[in-house]
Amino acid sequence: MVQDEVITHEKGNEEAWLCICGNEPPEDGFYPCDEKGNEVEPVSSWGGLYVCLRCGRIIDSDSLRVVGRNPHPKLLA
């Protein structure tokens, strides 16, 4: 993983993320995750991380920085 990777927003829509890999919400999407990139329910103890379902990049929702990667995240049923 390249250090200091940052994802971007769709032009004019700050809630629609565009991952470095080209994924966006209507395609594979992004899921709330733990620090290992595995999907979790976004409850009060959740850390605000999301995983890109296409490439496994783990994204800090506050800064949009890539903080890790899990190419095979476990999803909730």
- Averaged pLDDT for residues 38-51: 95
Banded model confidence at residue 4, pLDDT cuts 50, 70, 90: confident
Q: How far apart are CA 21 and CA 61, in angstroms?
A: 17
Which of residues 77 and 58 earns the better pLDDT score?
A: 58
Which pair of tokens denotes residue 62? 């506050």
The predicted structure's pLDDT at residue 3: 63
**pTM of the full structure:** 0.90
Each domain of the chain, given as residue ranges in start order, spans: 8-69
Contact 16, 9 (CB under 8 A): yes
How far, rounded to the nearest angstrom, does the alpha carbon of residue 29 sit from its chain's CA centroid?
8
